[in-house]
Structure 1
């Protein structure tokens, strides 16, 4: 599985996934790429955003950016958690060729999307309370988190030090500025 993620990371960094062209954020001028959210295990690059390192002052653009990025990562974590609780093949490392792993994961994603959109299966596949929820700053863990027996499919990725490109820094700073201006939301000041 680690090799699978390293191959996907290579494809992301070299535009091997054929993402749409760069676009400016609403009300902004600097075109930025469609992005993948990551944590500290990933290197910051043009297509992968990760948090600013360290602790930051309350209300700072870095702290706000990190908070907004963590909210986006929580959505991904919810989806993967629900998929892994249903599709048990995702619970353990897959000792297969990367191409086969990619096919299996994409099949699970397609099935997940089908089950979520189908009126007849949505209530069984992801009933209310399945996803994490947030109210007044309090996060209520989703029901999928209670069923994590033997969920060890994601082994820790190696944290490889990388030199940050100026382009990646510019993109992260543009996003941080956007979250403090045009993309500001009322509730971010409460948590940042």
Structure 2
């Protein structure tokens, strides 16, 4: 659906605001003067969450939190039960591992692709970053739909931390149930998510307007240099995007108008 073979999901993390708990100096994360629990999540191509880690991680940095979550730890240790590598296409017979896509806050790994850093990038790297951001918009939209529809997530949750975790997990379970069964799309109509129409004009989803005062804050993970194999894999994927994996809309990259995924935008 998003023109990235071997991609098994998009990953992101958010801080969920909660009321100041007891023992807050040591047990819960104080993020820019508000207390929070951390939600790390993965979604599929249809805005359904497929993996979630949630909890409190004390005074750890965001990067430390990512390594401490069960999902983040398994991803970094390459112990997730992913399928064995397969070729990206018939033209490229060499196997390529299955992977997740994330933004620049996440580390580059064999099973986690992130954008190329920098501003003055080659054409190939710009295409790669665009294709990656286009695919990872599903997790941003998934969080947006979740927050817009389950409005307790737009406020500071006034419960003890254990119940806060249960509330967030319940919202995610209900979100998934409806997304998988709402064939009339009243929960998530077509204009509710980001979309591209006509001459590469990007329309922001309606959820963005409804979550302007969103209490879910982004995570800022500390990036460590990835292994050389991960750099080589990213180069292979970038070359795939401009060769046999090319799609027509990427040829007009500079004509994309508006929205958070236009060139120079935050994603």
TM-score band, normalised by shorter chain = 0.7 to 0.9
Higher RCO (Cα < 8 Å, 6 or more apart): 1
> Which of residues 146, 166, 186 is equivalent to 2:209?
146
Give the count of matched residue pairs: 186
Are the aligned partners of 1:56 and 1:62 in contact in 2 as well (CA < 8 Å)?
no
TM-score, normalised on structure 1?
A: 0.82
Residues in 1 aligned to 2:170 and 2:83: alpha-carbon distance in whole angstroms: 22
Higher helix share: 1
Question: Aligned residue for 1:18?
Answer: 81
Unmatched runs of 5 consecutive residues or more in structure 1:
none
Question: Aligned residue for 1:34?
Answer: 98
CA deviations 1:111-158 (Å, max 9, x no partner) are: 3333123246x4320123111111222111111001114423234323
Residues in 1 aligned to 2:87 and 2:144: alpha-carbon distance in whole angstroms: 32
Deviates more, 1:79-88 or 1:107-116: 107-116
Are the aligned partners of 1:90 and 1:153 in contact in 2 as well (CA < 8 Å)?
yes
> Which of residues 126, 131, 140 is equivalent to 1:68?
131
Deviation at 1:89, TM superposition (A): 5.1
Question: Aligned residue for 2:60?
Answer: none
1:125 aligns with 2:183: no
Question: Aligned residue for 1:81?
Answer: 144
2:191 aligned counterpart, secondary structure = coil
Specify whether residues 66 and 104 from structure 1 end up closer, same or farther in structure 2 by C-alpha distance, changes over 3 A only. farther
> Which of residues 240, 243, 252 is equivalent to 1:190?
252
Higher strand share: 2
What value does the CA root-mean-square deviation take over the aligned residues? Answer: 2.7
Residues in 1 aligned to 2:72 and 2:241: alpha-carbon distance in whole angstroms: 26
